[in-house]
Structure 1
């Protein structure tokens, strides 16, 4: 049976001293948490102006309370999405290695990047929830890549880490293989929520956001259970080619 990352990733992840380790990208230098200063400097920052809802880069700045055209046509169920980076080289390779190569040692590095961003944004929530995997996919992969990110976010926000609050009702098709319309229908009623959340703010955590359909579907289920606000926090945002 897969062992949750939370069983062996200490909750003091972001309170420990920064250890100098060989860089996981270049391997030539050492850096804090396994990323040298040179490689840290070339991480693809997600720069503005951004949509205040989905964080998609925009050609022109929008008023703080005005969403982008796509969100106006179909507003996501989450209230806001936060991401420090674009899904691009070299972060994309690091995430892929962690997620599919089972490079669990990269989890602490990636988690520290998201936690540092949340600290800068002064993020807060009552509960922090990793996007759940279906049982079949969890068994195949051996771990949920979102657990380490969510645990670090909960630690920096001083929130309750809630990895068992939500679950996938079925093994949905991989979102990356579907077009936008199919992605939305693929996730209809895909998530279950364990308990009522009346008046609570919930942060949901994924590694990458592209269309935002998965995050929106989970947020919808949480709001059906009474959540007052749902924020999506991801490490990387895939952006449209036009941006």
Structure 2
């Protein structure tokens, strides 16, 4: 009997996994490979978030916390109840990083540095809608699933965070650097999908989607022109993002929702 090479075994198993997962679609109808359950992803998200709260400086500023939580709550109220967790948790980290993130399991983190660029509640809602969209579209699960296929032979339990050699892989899949405070980009397709879903979420919550364009103009200014060419970047360029958002805004339904007055 002809012996099957290890590489062929890997390819065969990968193809089998892909065939089992090919029918999964994102909220926008894009085909996805999803291997992990919502409960597994929520557990990983919760573990990651707890570690961040232990290792990062949490803001004690009551006014900033109330403001960010108000905007986040308005966004998450537009999200259907999730089976894998009870409620969303919002934490503000005291850091100059111009960033925010959302993790499976309903965990939202915002760095205070973002508030210097997202200068009003509509712009902050743009960012939070985008980050929550990553969770709703299973982008972390999608990236971990690709890692699993690429590294065929790893078990699901190998991705547990506590003291394993796969911690970096897990954190990267969730969009976080192992050294916290660094958010790793999703793929360009996932970023665009989160943009589309995110402005719909913010508009449903009553925020002004036109402010998403101003936000990315602010981001472009803050980056000082240091963004790499689009061809070399996993993110859409600022100009492409602004143009795409403008086109998407024209197609948004007219929602009859009033945004809360968070920025008092």
> What TM bracket, shorter-length normalisation?
under 0.3
The structure whose Rg is larger is 2
Higher percent of residues as helix: 2
Query: What is the TM-score normalised by the length of structure 1?
Result: 0.28
Structure number with higher relative contact order (C-alpha < 8 Å, ≥ 6 residues apart)? 1
Higher percent of residues as strand: 1
Query: What is the TM-score normalised by the length of structure 2?
Result: 0.26
